[in-house]
Amino acid sequence: MHIAIAGNIGAGKTTLTNLLAKHYKWSPHYESVTENPYLDDFYSSMERWSFNLQIYFLNSRFRQILEIIESGKNIIQDRTIYEDANIFAPNLHAMGLMTNRDF
């Protein structure tokens, strides 16, 4: 089984993940910020790096989902792929921090 927690930054996702993992004896899976090559750049120049950051997050979370499925373990995750595609990217676009690009 795979359960993922969604919420704003600082809402308590990691705390809830810890509590549920401990209670149900599941493996917790946390969002890694130390391995993200775009995070520091994003905070120094959001308009320049927002697209790169969102593509990184989508790719990273998709790989995490595949790993979770392949593991066969009961896992609780402190972030979802849906937040990136349906909340963060549209918000960055609406704020003018992520502009349309030619593909």
Is 41 one of the catalytic residues?
no
Find where tokens 């599941």 sit: 26
Task: Phi first, then psi: give them for residue 57, nearest 5 degrees.
Answer: -60, -45
Nearest to 89 by CA among 48, 45, 44, 58: 58
Of 40, 41, 78, 84, which residue is the catalytic one? 78
| Residues carrying an active site annotation | 78
